[in-house]
Structure 1
Amino acid sequence: MGDPRAERMHVGDNTLWSIGEVARKTGLSVKLIRHWSDAGVVHPAGRTPAGYRLYDTEALARLQLAQTLRGGWAWGWRRCGTYWSARAPCQAWP
């Protein structure tokens, strides 16, 4: 593991975490967090002098919400596919 000081920074009253620490806290991959950051789902609170992304508690909460919604949609689409394969598409949802 790297230097713990590189994982977390304090700026004023805010704690900022590296993308690796956020990945460990949320269970998301670094690659997915970068993707969601580039797509505008979540924004880094800042960057290190070297350009690494730093995330605050608001970003962490937003990632956790996105993770929850993503799981819900994945389950929903699987259920929807199972439902529609067994019924005519015009029937009402149970």
Structure 2
Amino acid sequence: MPQELTEMEKWEIIGKIKVSPNKYKTLKTIENEYMMPSEIARYSGLRITQVSNALKNLKKDNLVECINEEAKKGRLYHNTELGLEILEMIEDNKND
């Protein structure tokens, strides 16, 4: 089970996302769905390479996970609980 992040660590992650619109768009596009990179690209307006880079970085921060990593095609990604929490923190902060 992943270690709970401190409030400061969460804000550090939010900072990384805010400087990269591609990461934010990727997280926001996935939201509560299970999506392939091509779908994320289609719905977000990003290029597939931008989505792939964003997913790689979001995975590193445990914000998204691939549920069928072994698949060569049709990999499905979804936001982790932490990813959804971070997304919610960003959204709540926008409305302030």
Q: TM-score range by the shorter chain?
A: 0.3 to 0.5
Whichever structure has more helix as a proportion of its residues is 2
Whichever structure has more strand as a proportion of its residues is 1
Higher relative contact order (CA 8 A, sep 6+): 2
Q: Which is higher, the Rg of structure 1 or of structure 2?
A: 1
